Amino acid sequence: MGRSLFAAVMLTGMCLVSWAFGQEEMTRVNSDAFENPSRHEALFVHDAHNEKAGLGECASCHHIFENGVLQKDDSSVGTPCSECHQPSDRGETPSLMRAFHLKCKSCHQELKSGPLMCGECHKRPTRWIRNQEATGRPAG
Ligand code: HEC
Ligand code: HEC
Ligand code: HEC
Ligand code: HEC
């Protein structure tokens, strides 16, 4: 096993600890999988966001591919994105950062709804925002 793969596996193991929580509590996308995060974690009040955006299909984000083919009837709920998306691009598999940006921004762009500016997602956790997060209401 290569050293970087070993590191990735270790990191994944550590991330799984925080994955013991349900998505109901989630208000931001955790950035622990990035070696040196430079931004505030992106706002994402999981359940409220998906309800508002009408995203009933878990697998539209938690996807599974086999040999490049999307498996429409399978989902990867329970598996962090970082388990499959590495720090850099691997063939057709975008890097972890690109995976998030592609997934999140392309839909906002397409629907002309939802934030596209860096600071709208990577928002500083002010007290006002923490309060909104605590009540489960999406900020912004
Ligand atoms: C639609 C929301 C969204 C927008 C807009 C967005 N990002 Fe992100 N970005 C994310 C998510 C989700 C992650 C995954 C980790 C996290 O939560 O910070 C991420 C991760 C990152 C990371 C890697 C982790 C880190 O903190 O170093 C960087 C760097 C980054 N974004 C920079 C930017 C920049 C620069 C812009 C504007 C050009 C931008 N992002 C716009 C959602 C967004
Ligand atoms: C708009 C995209 C999107 C949709 C749709 C979506 N999720 Fe998620 N979900 C995410 C992201 C992003 C994460 C954080 C992933 C990571 O940290 O690697 C997440 C994390 C989770 C987690 C882990 C929670 C945690 O605290 O880390 C669970 C459980 C989960 N989702 C379940 C679901 C279920 C069940 C559905 C369908 C009802 C669903 N998701 C639909 C994007 C989505
Ligand atoms: C079980 C492994 C796995 C998990 C978990 C996973 N992905 Fe992927 N993802 C892949 C593979 C493999 C590809 C490349 C597909 C191809 O060959 O075109 C991909 C492609 C993508 C793409 C580009 C193609 C597209 O559908 O737009 C985006 C964006 C993406 N993933 C985002 C995410 C996000 C965000 C998460 C977490 C919510 C996630 N992925 C979780 C394996 C995974
Ligand atoms: C398939 C479409 C889709 C995807 C994928 C998606 N969004 Fe959104 N998002 C929306 C829509 C639609 C809105 C506007 C909802 C409203 O205000 O009515 C929105 C709004 C938001 C907002 C503003 C506050 C809120 O919750 O209403 C944030 C922050 C946000 N999205 C972050 C993200 C992040 C981070 C991701 C990726 C993990 C993501 N979105 C993926 C459709 C999407």
Q: Which two tokens stand for residue 114?
A: 């939802």
Amino acid at 85: H
Beta-carbon contacts of residue 41 (< 8 Å; ≥ 6 apart): 28, 29, 30, 31, 122
Distance CA 5, CA 87 (A): 11
Predicted local distance difference test score (pLDDT) of residue 58: 96
The average confidence (pLDDT) of the chain is 86
pLDDT band at 140 (very low <50, low <70, confident <90, very high): very low
- Judged by phi (left if over 0) then psi (alpha if -120 to 50, else beta), residue 70 lies in beta
Among the listed ranges 2-6, 18-22, 102-106, which one has the minimum average pLDDT value?
A: 18-22
Residue 117 to residue 2: CA distance in whole angstroms: 37
Q: In this structure, which residue's CA is closest to atom 25 in ligand 1?
A: 37
Contact 29 CB / ligand 4 (< 6 Å): yes
Q: How far is CA 23 from CA 31, 33, 108, 119, 128, in A?
A: 15, 17, 21, 23, 22
Q: 105 C-alpha to center of ligand 2: Å?
A: 16
CATH topology of domain 3-55+81-134: Cytochrome C3 (3.90.10)
Whole-number Å distance between alpha carbons of 30 and 98:
15
- What's the CA dihedral at 64, 67, 73, 78 to 10 degrees? -20
Least confident of 14-23, 43-52, 108-117: 14-23
Identify the residues whose C-beta falls under 6 Å from ligand 2: 19, 21-23, 26, 29-30, 46, 50, 55, 58, 60-62, 77, 80-82
pLDDT in tens, 83-114: 999 999 999 999 999 999 999 999 999 999 99
* CB-CB contact of 104 with 42 (8 Å): yes
Residue type, 48: A
**What pLDDT, on the 0 to 100 scale, is given for residue 128?**
65
